[in-house]
Chains A and B, each alone.
Chain A
Amino acid sequence: MAITYDQGLSFVQGFGAAIAENKAYLTQLDSEIGDADHGTNMDRGMQAVLAKVGSLEGADLSQLFKTTAMTLISTVGGASGPLYGTLFLGLGTATTGKTELSTEEWSQALDAAVQAVRARGKAELRDKTMIDALQPAADALRESAQDGATLEVALAACERAAEQGMQATIPLVARKGRASYLGERSAGHQDPGATSSWLLVRAARQAFTADT
């Protein structure tokens, strides 16, 4: 089973819908250890993306992801604008010319994208950032794909790993981003960026396993 352009589009749209639905929740998480704008930032960006991507005539997956990236970079601001922009740019660069993706190709694209986010933000695992959800998700997807798992099974493992990574940020003391200014006081709170990243991975699973 391959991932089609329409499924790619419904992934981007599903992520936008999930952000809109969880806007207040993400901002609430950011008010505990940040500056109370993560949900607002991401929703502003994804609403702009939603206004654009529905009408991309004859685009391939790469163009879809790059348009998403450039829109996020130019509308979000904050730390998450360049970081999610870089993530989608990574997906776009890894899928040049593709109208369909195999499980391995999606895994390679996610790997490249997470690598690019790490290069831009210089965050490591357990720094209490979006990397704590994204890296385990990319790892789980790659391992499942290598084991020959079906797309459904691989995506489910990917989503589970992101959710666990998100939850594992709760006890951590932040070492990157605004939350790091709080020192020990950042422990006991779930990272907002890891939460939006789990929503992204969940949107991918939902879109890529649905019939279109």
Chain B
Amino acid sequence: MATTQETQRSEPATAEGKAELDVFRYIPEEDDEPHTETYEIETFEGMTVLDALIKIRDEQDSSLTVRHSCRMARCGSDAVYINGTQRLACNTQVSELSQPIDVEPLPRFDVIRDLVVEMNEFYDRMESVEPWFQPDHEPETGEEYLQSPENRKNIDTVLDCIWCGACTSSCSPAATDSDFPGPAALAKAYRFYKDEREGEETRKRRLEMLESSHGIYRCHTQFNCTEVCPKGISPTEAIMEMSRDAVKEKLRFWR
């Protein structure tokens, strides 16, 4: 029984054995320039890249710094650049990667130390779309802000965002245009834009706020954000829907 299950999951041969990791290292107090260090570790079945990094830190080099917390793809603090793609270290199996595994901090963010990047810029972008609930009218006293299940369906996926920054790191217009909120922030804006409890006024205002050539119209449909999102969100789709609505709003006869 156990063997059939094993084959069904088609565990690669490297499930247990050795793995080689090329890790980006930069300690501002010691290094002028970043460099790459190679570590070899013993792997175990189900080992994630985060496990591997922690193992390196525990057993080989205690100065290696990586930000992490939940280890279950929930907090979004350990997005790194693994083998040329933005991924969550805790959500990536060592066994499914080609060796040596290249681990770098998120591209286009400033590096504070090793794999830890400065996220303030990202949080500023998130804040620029006012990601908080702003209803037109307060409900009658004692009532709750009730959302209809149908309306909730629209934002099911975008609500899963964990602010890891992978998508914004993968988006080239976000990198070259600092006024562009980037995919994560625009998906967040979509979450409120679609929430009918906010009312028509706020919806209009939100759309106007985003409508600029450095806003929703800056998206080039590269789909990088959709590809890298560990939560399966498609910011591209959200942005396209908002820009479509914004233009529709202009062409009233179209509706």
A complexed with B: no
